[in-house]
Amino acid sequence: MGCGIQRSIALILRGEFVDAFYMYPAIYPLITLLLLLVLNHFISFKYANKGIIILAILTVATIIVSYIIKMTTN
């Protein structure tokens, strides 16, 4: 399920954002979740916990759905 995350990060670092999404669709919710976690560590936000929960669910759902799609289309 995590296959492609390293290549996706490498594509983002090269500026190939669309290709990074196709490589690993959960990369953008995952990056957003990690940024929120880091920011919340230093700056307290009012609804940070709710945002973290929503982003975590979105990230896990994206990983599972993309995995199922990849397994059924190959």
Q: pTM, whole model, 2 decimals?
A: 0.83
Name the residue type at position 29: P
Query: Measuring CA to CA, how many Å separate 36 from each of 17, 41, 68?
Result: 20, 8, 27
* Tens-digit pLDDT profile for residues 12-48: 999 999 999 999 999 999 999 999 999 999 998 889 8
* Tens-digit pLDDT profile for residues 52-73: 999 999 999 999 999 898 889 8
Residue that has been written with the tokens 């996706």 in this structure: 8
